[in-house]
Amino acid sequence: MFTSHHINRFSNIETPFYYYNTGLLSKTLNALTSANTYNFHIHYALKANSNPIILNMIKNHGLGADCVSGNEVLKAIECGFPVDKIVFAGVGKSDKEILNAINHNILCFNVESIPELLVLNELAAKQKKKINIALRINPNVDAYTHKYITTGLEENKFGINPYEFNEVESVLSNCNFLSLIGLHFHIGSQIQDLTPFKNLCLKINELNKWFLHKGHNINIINVGGGLGVDYKNPNGSQIVDFDSYFKVFHQFLEPLNRQQIHFELGRSIVAQCGSLISKVLYIKKGINTNFAILDAGMTELIRPALYQAYHHIENLSANNLEQKLKYDVVGPICESSDCFGKAVFLPETKRGDIIAIRTAGAYGEVMSSKYNLRDEVKSYFDV
């Protein structure tokens, strides 16, 4: 929620920029840790936001790091995440990325295919180090979320399918430099209904037993991330219900032989603490609508253009909040998809007004680009 203090401050900073409320991030992290009464191991998915100030706060709350590129691994190490709390996932790890991670002795590689097993074994042998791996398994559980952020179905490129398990076993029996310590799952992102997580648990129980019967010593069950946030009501639901989320796993997951349960949460930790702050450049009359043309565009926040994602838009400068008009809120980029919201009701909006695009802390700044030779987007924090 923004006050006149924020508006005064924002009017003195060149727009557009990301603004992060670290007070809210702290509260969210506290809520997360107090909901975790089950001794779950929580990793933060750096891909959601890798701003060093944010990473530092998350690390100080004792979370580990879930990385999906060599540079994310390096960033996590640079920010002080202990290497034995860093995992490295991704369908296309390059040799350079793998070697770097091997040399840093990270906790585990989450392996996404049989060819990757062979490459990991070869590179680990070259370094004369035995490395830990978890198999990323495609559980074929529907997350009922946007098709671009569903990951746990057979048609997706991620993970190893159960029908490949026998082959995995025979490949592994020849991989002396790999130690299988975990099973990894992730069914998708922005999942608000908890039922898919329950279905995931039931599927994991089945697969976990298969590995136990085959004599594998699996210590870690990694259930991924994916917990969704409320984009419609950023002020009303600032912190997600971590209690109910963890309860589902406590209730339905059956760890065997004191297996550790690991999570990889991204969005639910950082989404609500970030807003994209922008100014109105022009109000242009259209046939059925007015266009509010902002100085921020899809180069700063691509989610609406890429996934038709909803972000709540607020005019922070408007005085008369009663009377609302309809606007298409668009950016300056030369693409018709550069639109933050169609037919958005806002108080009468004029050139120079400050606009906040909310719930932009996850997959916002990290997905920004320099298309149209735009300036790199800056970020500010509450003081």
Q: Counting contacts by CB under 6 A, is residue 249 touching ligand LLP?
A: no
Other C-beta atoms within 10 Å of 29: how many? 22
Q: What are phi and psi for residue 103, nearest 5 degrees?
A: -65, -25
Q: Counting contacts by CB under 6 A, is residue 353 touching ligand LLP?
A: no
Q: How far apart are alpha carbons 42 and 64 in whole angstroms?
A: 6
Q: Counting contacts by CB under 6 A, is residue 266 touching ligand LLP?
A: yes
- Please report, as residue ranges, which positions from 108 to 147 form the binding site for ligand LLP (by CB under 6 A): none
Pick the stretch among 28-36, 163-171, 263-271, 276-284 that binds ligand LLP (CB under 6 A): 263-271
- Please report, as residue ranges, which positions from 22 to 51 form the binding site for ligand LLP (by CB under 6 A): 45, 47-48
Tell me the closest approach of the beta carbon of residue 352 to ligand LLP, in angstroms.
30
65, 149, 293, 346: residue in contact with ligand LLP (rule CB under 6 A): 149
Q: Which string of x and - marks every residue 71-110 that binds ligand LLP (by CB under 6 A)?
A: ------------------x---------------------
Q: Counting contacts by CB under 6 A, is residue 226 touching ligand LLP?
A: yes
Tell me how far CA of residue 90 lies from CA of 102, 110, 173, 330, 362, in angstroms.
15, 7, 23, 33, 19
Tell me the closest approach of the beta carbon of residue 167 to ligand LLP, in angstroms.
22
303, 311, 358, 374: residue in contact with ligand LLP (rule CB under 6 A): 303
- Phi-psi category of residue 110: left, alpha or beta, with phi > 0 → left and psi -120 to 50 → alpha: beta
Instruction: Confirm if 338 and 331 have CB atoms less than 8 A apart.
Output: yes
377: its two tokens:
């987007």
Tell me how far CA of residue 194 lies from CA of 90, 198, 228, 245, in angstroms.
25, 7, 10, 7
64, 70, 182, 224: residue in contact with ligand LLP (rule CB under 6 A): 224
Tell me the closest approach of the beta carbon of residue 14 to ligand LLP, in angstroms.
26
Helix ranges, 21-144 (H):
22-35, 52-60, 70-78, 95-103, 114-126
Q: Which is nearer to ligand LLP, 6 or 303 (CB)?
A: 303
Instruction: Confirm if 174 and 118 have CB atoms less than 8 A apart.
Output: no
Residue 334 DSSP code: S
Pick the stretch among 173-181, 185-193, 279-287, 336-344 that binds ligand LLP (CB under 6 A): 185-193
Tell me the closest approach of the beta carbon of residue 330 to ligand LLP, in angstroms.
19
112, 116, 264, 328: residue in contact with ligand LLP (rule CB under 6 A): 264
By CB under 6 A, the count of residues binding ligand LLP is 22
Q: Which is nearer to ligand LLP, 10 or 246 (CB)?
A: 246
Tell me the closest approach of the beta carbon of residue 197 to ligand LLP, in angstroms.
11
Say which amino acid occupies 234.
P
Q: Counting contacts by CB under 6 A, is residue 239 touching ligand LLP?
A: no
Tell me the closest approach of the beta carbon of residue 58 to ligand LLP, in angstroms.
13
Pick the stretch among 97-105, 258-266, 272-280, 320-328 that binds ligand LLP (CB under 6 A): 258-266
* Long-range CB contacts for residues 158-163, cutoff 8 Å, separation at least 24: 158/91, 158/112, 158/186, 159/112, 159/184, 159/185, 160/111, 160/112, 160/113, 160/114, 160/135, 160/136, 161/137, 162/137, 162/138, 162/207, 162/210
- Of 153, 270, 170, the residue nearest 214 (C-alpha): 170
Tell me the closest approach of the beta carbon of residue 89 to ligand LLP, in angstroms.
5
Instruction: Confirm if 354 and 12 have CB atoms less than 8 A apart.
Output: no
Other C-beta atoms within 10 Å of 247: how many? 15
Q: How far apart are alpha carbons 264 and 262 in whole angstroms?
A: 7
Evaluate the omega torsion of the peptide bond into residue 16 and state whether it is cis, within 30 degrees of 0.
yes
225, 274, 297, 304: residue in contact with ligand LLP (rule CB under 6 A): 225
Rounded-to-5 percentages of helix, strand, coil across the chain: 35, 25, 40
Q: Which is nearer to ligand LLP, 228 or 293 (CB)?
A: 228
113, 190, 272, 359: residue in contact with ligand LLP (rule CB under 6 A): 190
Q: Which residues bind ligand LLP (CB under 6 A)?
A: 45, 47-48, 66, 89, 149, 151, 186, 189-190, 224-227, 264-268, 303, 307, 363
